[in-house]
Chain A
Amino acid sequence: MKPDDKQIKWVKEPKLGLSGRMYLGPLLDGLATTARHMLSTARGDGMTCQFPEERPKFGNPLIYRGVHRLNKDEQGRVKCVACFLCATACPAHCIDIIGTQSPWEDREKYPQSFVIDELRCIYCGMCEEACPVDAIELTALFDLTGASREEMIFDKEKLLSVYDATIEQEPMRSRQGAGGQGHSAS
């Protein structure tokens, strides 16, 4: 690319006015800005969220990527059809599925065991994107803690219980139209 290329936009430094050249105007400007922030914080408009006492507010909890849950269908069965797409998509290789013959008429397979290592997970949401039946979703639970590594390996029951705990606040993505572009569940 030549310096006189049409696509290069040369930007000139703005000319400083009288007060700018004396540093004074801009310096006073700076003081005014910080004073404004100081006063607004003193009035209680600070950014700080007092975490353990106060829960942070999410703009849209539906798009937050926290702990996973395994969704259930209308009859309370696990929605997952053990297609392994999420496990394949997962960049951290932290999803471990054992699929087996489904006991139900409407699908061939279901996960006999479905384990996610929440410590290895990088919460990228790829599994959620990959799932063709919206069976796996990331919730807005962000303060996951545990006393041991074993505790942080979530099996199917635990993932289903996360569904029970969060479904009230966070409806399934496939059901809410605009928010999710997923396919509708069978």
Chain B
Amino acid sequence: MSSWLEPLIKTGLVVAILNGAVAYLVLVERKVAAYIQDRLGPNRVGPWGLLQPLADGAKFIFKEEIIPAGADKVLFLIAPVLILATAMVTFATIPFGNLIPWKGGTITLTAAPNMDIGLLFVFAIGSLGVYGVVLGGWASNNKYSFLFSGSLNMETIIARQAQTGWWWFAVQPLAFGVFLVSGCAESTRLPFDLPECEQELVGGYHTEYTAMKFGMFAFAEYLHMITVAVLTVILFFGGWHFWGIAPYTAPENVTWLGAVMHIVVLTVKTLMMIFFFMWIRWSWPRFRYDQLMSMAWKTMIPLGVLNLLVCAVCQEFLDPADMLTRCVLGWLAVGGCVLYAAMSAAPQGRAADVSPPVRPL
């Protein structure tokens, strides 16, 4: 295939699939929310509400577009586009499968394959979005978790996990925890939706947007969620690898069946991760601002540093193939953190001997 046609097709494919996926994720989210709240959710448009996304889209398109009189027109119009574009661009380096055989060679299923700074690229672009501004500091923690891999190229990261058969959430539990929390924060979904406060504010920063422009903000939020879910799967759950049904295959003997299995495994894992994020969103209340800050500064950053330390020790003294020791060390570090937290946490609640406040009536 000619050198420019291949990325073009892959990009088109990714964009098309993402568009469909986001539309249906909105439906899935509404269904999950409904089921958690003992309701049924949308079920009137098409069987099981399956045509609901189309109806929503049509509604967005036909609604009136309002530009507030006092708004800076250029900025106002460009903001949703920017947010959506940056959310899309992150997918350039994210693999959506392994390799497919093509005319004796192979094609990597990544829009921009072999980008050695792949992960950094995702975080850099991700924090370009307005979403990242307040919580951007969180994202900057992330890089500690990846020193272990020795690579920021996502294809390599998956390949390492597939070759060893160890998924890194088992080897790197601390990093996994930190990443999951900051991932949630990055997608500004519920436990960390401070810029938005969906339930009680009119909508935070996108209050003045109407019709499709509002839709684009929602779209970008779901794209962020997909990004975080795919990244979690790639970094900690072995990407397209699954023992038995989707094992590691050397580039020479890639088959169509294997390629399809890899895509299916990655998709299923990602969907499960997304479901987990939705489940969290409809289960937990939002963190208070001071709780968020104290968690970020007193828990997440120290954990990140500790993780870095454990990784460095492992890299220095251990045989690269010795996953078991790493695993044990990693969980020991988690245990240590739990103990430390339990011993040092300030007692909550009002102390017993504080007399009730005296208020004049």
Chain A residues in the interface with B (C-beta under 8 A): 1, 3-4, 8, 10, 12-16, 18, 20-22, 27, 30-31, 33-35, 37-38, 40-42, 45-48, 50
Candidates A4, A18, A38; contact of B36 at CB < 8 Å: A38
In the complex, number of A-B residue pairs with CB atoms less than 8 Å apart: 70
Contact A38 B348 (CB under 8 A): no
Q: Which residues of B contact A8 (CB under 8 A)?
A: 356
Contact A30 B35 (CB under 8 A): no
- Extra contacts, 15 of them, besides A8-B356, A34-B279 (Cβ < 8 A), are A1-B361, A3-B357, A4-B356, A10-B356, A16-B348, A18-B342, A22-B342, A35-B279, A37-B36, A38-B32, A40-B38, A41-B40, A42-B35, A46-B38, A46-B40
Q: Which residues of B contact A1 (CB under 8 A)?
A: 361
Q: Bits for B267-284, please: 1 = Cβ < 8 Å to A, else 0.
A: 000000000000110111
Contact A47 B345 (CB under 8 A): no
The answer to whether A21 and B348 touch (CB under 8 A), given A1-B361, A30-B283, is yes
A sample of 13 inter-chain contacts (CB < 8 A) reads A1-B361, A13-B348, A15-B348, A15-B349, A21-B345, A22-B338, A30-B283, A41-B38, A46-B35, A46-B40, A48-B38, A48-B39, A50-B40
The answer to whether A30 and B342 touch (CB under 8 A), given A3-B356, A40-B38, is no
Q: Which residues of B contact A41 (CB under 8 A)?
A: 34-36, 38-40
Contact B356 A37 (CB under 8 A): no
Candidates A13, A38, A42; contact of B349 at CB < 8 Å: A13
Q: Bits for B331-359, please: 1 = Cβ < 8 Å to A, else 0.
A: 00000001001100101111010001111
* CB of B201, distance to nearest CB on chain A (Å): 23
A1 to B360, CA, bound (A): 9
Candidates A4, A22, A33, A48; contact of B345 at CB < 8 Å: A22
Contact B35 A37 (CB under 8 A): yes
* CB of B69, distance to nearest CB on chain A (Å): 39
The 10 closest A-B pairs by CB, nearest first: A13-B349, A21-B345, A34-B283, A41-B35, A48-B40, A30-B283, A47-B38, A38-B35, A34-B36, A16-B348
Chain B residues in the interface with A (C-beta under 8 A): 32, 34-40, 279-280, 282-284, 338, 341-342, 345, 347-350, 352, 356-359, 361
Q: Which residues of B contact A13 (CB under 8 A)?
A: 348-350
Contact A14 B32 (CB under 8 A): no
Q: Which residues of B contact A16 (CB under 8 A)?
A: 348-349
Contact A31 B349 (CB under 8 A): no
Q: Which residues of A contact B35 (CB under 8 A)?
A: 37-38, 41-42, 46
* CB of A113, distance to nearest CB on chain B (Å): 43
**CB nearest to A10 among chain B residues:** B356
The answer to whether A21 and B341 touch (CB under 8 A), given A3-B359, A16-B348, is yes
**CB nearest to A36 among chain B residues:** B36
**CB nearest to B291 among chain A residues:** A23
Q: Which residues of B contact A50 (CB under 8 A)?
A: 40
Q: Which residues of A contact B284 (CB under 8 A)?
A: 27, 30
The winner among A4, A14, A16, A37 for most chain B CB atoms within 10 A is A37
Q: Which residues of B contact A46 (CB under 8 A)?
A: 35, 38-40
Q: Which residues of A contact B32 (CB under 8 A)?
A: 38
A13 to B347, CA, bound (A): 11
Contact B349 A47 (CB under 8 A): no
Candidates A3, A15, A20; contact of B358 at CB < 8 Å: A3
Candidates B283, B349, B359; contact of A14 at CB < 8 Å: B349
A1 to B358, CA, bound (A): 11
* CB of A49, distance to nearest CB on chain B (Å): 10
The answer to whether A34 and B38 touch (CB under 8 A), given A12-B352, A13-B348, A22-B338, is no
A145 to B37, CA, bound (A): 30
* CB of B16, distance to nearest CB on chain A (Å): 31
A37 to B33, CA, bound (A): 10
Q: Which residues of A contact B350 (CB under 8 A)?
A: 12-13
Q: Which residues of A contact B348 (CB under 8 A)?
A: 13, 15-16, 20-21
A20 to B349, CA, bound (A): 12
**CB nearest to B177 among chain A residues:** A24
Q: Which residues of B contact A3 (CB under 8 A)?
A: 356-359
**CB nearest to A42 among chain B residues:** B35
The winner among B37, B283, B345 for most chain A CB atoms within 10 A is B283
A47 to B37, CA, bound (A): 9
A42 to B349, CA, bound (A): 38
**CB nearest to B349 among chain A residues:** A13
**CB nearest to B276 among chain A residues:** A31
Q: Which residues of B contact A10 (CB under 8 A)?
A: 356
Q: Which residues of B contact A14 (CB under 8 A)?
A: 349
* CB of B340, distance to nearest CB on chain A (Å): 10
Q: Which residues of A contact B40 (CB under 8 A)?
A: 41, 46, 48, 50
